[in-house]
Amino acid sequence: MDPIIRVHSVSKSYWRDSFEIPVLNNISFDVPGGEFLALMGPSGSGKTTLLNLIAGIDRPDKGSLHVAGTDIATLNESRLAKWRSTHIGFIFQFYNLIPVLTAYENVELPLLLTSLSKQERRRHVETALTVVGLQDRMRHYPKQLSGGQEQRVAIARAITTDPTLLVADEPTGDLDKRSADEILTLLDRLNKEFKKTIVMVTHDPRAAEKAHVVRHLDKGEFSQN
């Protein structure tokens, strides 16, 4: 079976004023479908940058990125946006829910870009919120929820379109231990039960334990161990 992610010789730098800040240096690796991959490494090692490239919200300077069967480095902005909406479910460290929308409406947001009817959307939203165990919090606004609950709503938002790939950037980084455990258990379930491919950036060794594969990034390169 073809890998879901094929990263080949990817390099990326940022520019601050006229200084080049090299972030990723000639990275190559594959992720087969169904894998739960953890990316670890010190702060500033380029984990978020690599995740953003895979998720199609940033572009490499060099190299190719095949994700979910598409060479995403060659897509234009609007095609890339469309591609993201069908293939990627993004989970952020700080949840990034829209504060003026209820849990239900936040989860429904990505579905507004599909051709689903209102009833179909309702079914999807209710299913996603049931998976994360928040079916009784649908009418709540983000500020009426705990951090762990907010992150579960964010996960529901990420899975509601049934994307090919889930990417999570330090999903437990802002949570207490108990909430963090709940989130990790949930991601584990999504991987095992729903066969979701997951790429997760984390600092937390306990989070990495849930993953099948752990890759360590250091100064923009994979290190052995």
Ligand X SMILES: Nc1ncnc2c1ncn2[C@@H]1O[C@H](COP(=O)(O)OP(=O)(O)O)[C@@H](O)[C@H]1O
Among 4, 5, 10, 46, binds ligand X (CB under 6 A): 46
Answer for the pair 63, 9: CB distance below 8 angstroms, yes or no.
Answer: yes
Q: How far is the CB of 216 from another protein (least distance, A)?
A: 23
- Alpha carbon distance 144, 104 (integer Å): 13
Query: Taking the complex as a whole, how short is the minimal distance between the CB of residue 207 and ligand X, in angstroms?
Result: 14
User: Which does residue 193 bind out of ligand X, another protein, Mg ion, none, counting CB within 5 to 8 angstroms by kind?
Assistant: none
- Assess 85 for contact with another protein (CB under 8 A): yes
Site string for another protein, 38-57 (x = CB under 8 A): --------------x--x-x
**How would you write the chain as a 3-class SS string?**
CCCCEEEEEEEEEEEECCEEEEEEEEEEEEECCCCEEEEECCCCCCHHHHHHHHCCCCCCCEEEEEECCEEHHHCCHHHHHHHHHHHEEEECCCCCCCCCCCHHHHHHHHHHHCCCCHHHHHHHHHHHHHHCCCHHHCCCCHHHCCHHHHHHHHHHHHHCCCCCEEEEECCCCCCCHHHHHHHHHHHHHHHHCCCCEEEEECCCHHHHHHCCEEEEEECCEEECC
In the complex, the smallest distance separating the C-beta of residue 118 from another protein, rounded to whole angstroms, is 9
Instruction: For residue 77, state whether it binds another protein (rule: CB under 8 A).
Output: yes
Q: Which residues pair with 201 in a beta bridge?
A: 39, 169
Per-residue x/- mask for Mg ion, residues 93 to 122, rule CB under 5 A? ------------------------------
Q: Is 23 in the site for ligand X (CB under 6 A)?
A: yes
Report the nearest approach of ligand X to the CB of residue 13 (Å): 9
x/- letters, 19..48, toward Mg ion (CB under 5 A): -----------------------------x
Q: Which stretch binds another protein (CB under 8 A): 82-90, 132-140, 204-212, 217-225?
A: 82-90
Report if residue 48 touches ligand X, rule: CB under 6 A. yes
Considering only 7, 47, 142, 145, the residue that binds ligand X (CB under 6 A) is: 47
Closer to another protein by CB, 57 or 214: give it: 57
